[in-house]
A and B are shown apart, each in its own frame.
Chain A
Amino acid sequence: MSGPVGSASPSELLSRFSISPSRRRRDRLARGTIGAGTVLALIPLVLIVYYLLEKGLGAWSTDFFTTDPTGSTFFKSSSIGGIKSAVLGTIEMVALASAIAVPIGIGVALWLVEYGRDSAFAKTVRFFVDVLTGVPSILFGLFIYIVLVIGTHSSYAGYKGSIALSLLMLPVVIRSAEVILLLVPGGLRESALALGAPRWKMIARVVLPTALPGMVTGVLLAVARAAGETAPLLFTAASTHGTSFNLGGFMNSLPVQIYNDVTSPTAAVVNRAWGAALTLVTLILALNVIARLIARRSRLT
């Protein structure tokens, strides 16, 4: 070392290169503001979880899960019923929605990665998938209403709600599956083809099994998203009180029941909404946690 640095004593060096008080103050202020912003971002979560637990756990009981809502709004909480039909309805409709959205979504993702690649058509498809992602969920409800309720001159039905939900799930499934499929090493594909496997066999035996855990994660996140949606179900599945296993008829669901209960003037009914909300959030969180655990075990990251 030579020059001015080399000839200075340590204390001189320190004063020459140390940060001026005003800069230090500004640094501290900015860091403090950023830290405060982060804390601010976490406050709503704490408040929501706390309030959900406090109100929701109070509403939970065995009866709460084993009885259907009665539709009565008497002040005695025992007569208003629980949320059995809503839980079962949500599970049934989301299951059907997944059965529709998952094969189509993975198929489109496969086409994009294995066949479409960077062709103009593939770019158009990607663009439209992005469009689909941004469409507000209530518009999917309107769309299914136009096509399946007006179009067939029939009434609301559970399966129509499922189709609306599946439209909502599609872009999430496609995008997540596409990203995972792109991560499958090209060497694996080439080895399969070099061994003489036809393309479909390469996809079925090599690409899909390798990408499976990652795709499961994407699917579970899509399911979690669909399970919490109210708006697409309002004019497609409507709501009802009784438990139903007939997807061709009206169907109750957790989000729609919460939405209906919120506007009630009766305290017991609002309480049921809190219990149902806690149930719904628990369900969705469980799906998210499982999705993350599977993602962690995936070999492709």
Chain B
Amino acid sequence: MEAASVTGGGRTVLVRSPLTRLPDRALRWTLTVLAALILALIVYFFVRLVGQAKPALSHQGVLGFAFEDSWNPSAGRFGALPLVVGTLITSFLALVIGVPVAVAAAIYTTELCPRRLRTPLTVLVELLAAVPSVVYGLWGIFFLAPKLRGAEQWLADRLSFVPFVGGGLVTIPNCFITGLVLAIMILPIVSAISREVMSTVPSDHREAALGLGATRWEMIRIAVLPYCRSGIVGGAMLGLGRAIGETIAVTILIGDSPKMVEHLFGQSYSLAAVIANEFGEATGIHRSALFAAGLLLFVLTLLVNGLARWFVVRAARIDAPPRPEDHARSGPAVLAADTIAGA
């Protein structure tokens, strides 16, 4: 301050006139308004969706809508339980099939494969994310489903003693095929996040394990996997969020039968598929019920994704440096999650 008062005359010269500061302020306020717009948009969406869903929810009761087993638009019954169950079964099936494969691919590319193969392998797995949902549906229904039908029937016969799995007749659109195609669709995102997290494992840890005489697998088991557990869990949950919200491929593959799932190789329905399928013809309370299904889907994906982010961010922060760089560090993993297409 003392120095400033000595050269006091110069100070006023350096201060910009309000007019030249105008563009600065304008830019700042425009950008702030844009950022606030995102918030307003989502809140507005939620409010409008609740408003549209209200007639059906009051007709059916909130709990009745979510937990009643009767989706029968012509009879005016809208219990979404079969849809919720169909959504969850196919999504979990996708996780069970997809996550081990995705994690294996991630381990192979980060820990085992020759350096030259690393980039091509990564790109190949990520190419799966570039295939649009409708193409997965097309491929699944005309190629995969007919090819696998025999194997599925064999499996269903062998497993006939297991309730909900075996027994019945295998239909061409069914839950299992839906889960399988969903597994392929979530592969790239789960794999990308696992790979991202594995690359944050300090090489000291790996070298320490190897130096103590561990084999490659033991090194992966002691040094790599425990370090990235929460990141992998987060990646899997992001995949689950994708699977729950996936619409078009599921609509084509699941068979669109609004009854409770009887067995794994039978037809079912999902929340997203019912909207895509019935919205065009729906009127009145039926349309409102579809908005309610959308609301349920929104809440479900919000919960799953929130949990997933929490895991991923926690993983990225394990050895995080001081605060300001926090989100720069979680950047790559989150970016990978965002830029990989497929929802």
Contacts and interface: CB of A to CB of B under 8 A. Distances in A.
Interface of A: 17, 19, 23-24, 26-27, 30-31, 33-38, 40-42, 44-45, 47-48, 51-52, 104, 107-108, 110-112, 114-116, 118, 121-122, 124-126, 128-139, 142-143, 146-147, 150, 167-168, 170-172, 174-176, 178-179, 182, 198-200, 203, 218, 221-222, 224-225, 227-231, 234-235, 255, 258-259, 262-263, 270, 273-274, 277, 280-281, 284-285, 288, 292
A285 B248 CA distance: 20
B130 A284 contact: yes
Given A104-B34, A143-B48, A277-B138, A135 B298 contact: yes
Interface of B: 16, 20-21, 23-24, 26-28, 30-32, 34-39, 41-42, 45, 48-49, 52, 100-105, 107-109, 112-113, 121, 123-125, 127-128, 130-139, 141-144, 184, 187, 191, 213, 215-218, 220-221, 238, 241, 244-248, 252, 272, 275-276, 279-280, 291, 294, 297-298, 301-302, 304-305, 309, 323-324, 326-328, 331-332, 334-335, 337-339, 341-343
B187 A143 contact: no
B21 to A, nearest CB: 7
B130 A34 contact: no
B247 A44 contact: no
| The 10 A-B residue pairs with the shortest CB-CB distance in the complex, in nearest-first order | A37-B104, A136-B245, A228-B132, A134-B305, A111-B31, A225-B341, A30-B217, A27-B215, A231-B247, A38-B108
A136 B105 CA distance: 26
B301 A284 contact: no
Contacts of A42: 121, 124-125
Given A107-B31, A199-B24, A258-B138, A131 B132 contact: no
Nearest to A54: B143
Contacts of A262: 134, 137-138, 141, 252
Given A135-B245, A199-B24, 5 more contacts: A34-B107, A35-B112, A134-B305, A231-B247, A281-B131
B127 A285 contact: yes
Contacts of A111: 31-32, 34-35
Contact of B298 (A139, A175, A288): A139
A185 to B, nearest CB: 13
A31 B298 contact: no
A129 B309 CA distance: 12
The binding surface of chain A is classed by DSSP as helix
A277 B141 CA distance: 14
22 contacts: A27-B215, A27-B216, A27-B218, A30-B220, A37-B100, A42-B125, A48-B139, A114-B31, A125-B35, A134-B238, A136-B301, A142-B291, A198-B21, A199-B27, A221-B341, A224-B341, A225-B342, A228-B133, A230-B133, A235-B279, A280-B134, A285-B130
Given A37-B105, A136-B343, A258-B134, A107 B100 contact: no
Contacts of B102: 41
A221 B339 contact: yes
A182 B331 contact: yes
A125 B38 CA distance: 7
A33 B331 CA distance: 31
A292 B120 CA distance: 13
A26 B131 CA distance: 37
A109 to B, nearest CB: 9
A108 B34 CA distance: 6
B305 A130 contact: yes
B138 A40 contact: no
B312 to A, nearest CB: 10
B229 to A, nearest CB: 17
A265 to B, nearest CB: 13
A167 B41 CA distance: 10
A115 B32 contact: yes
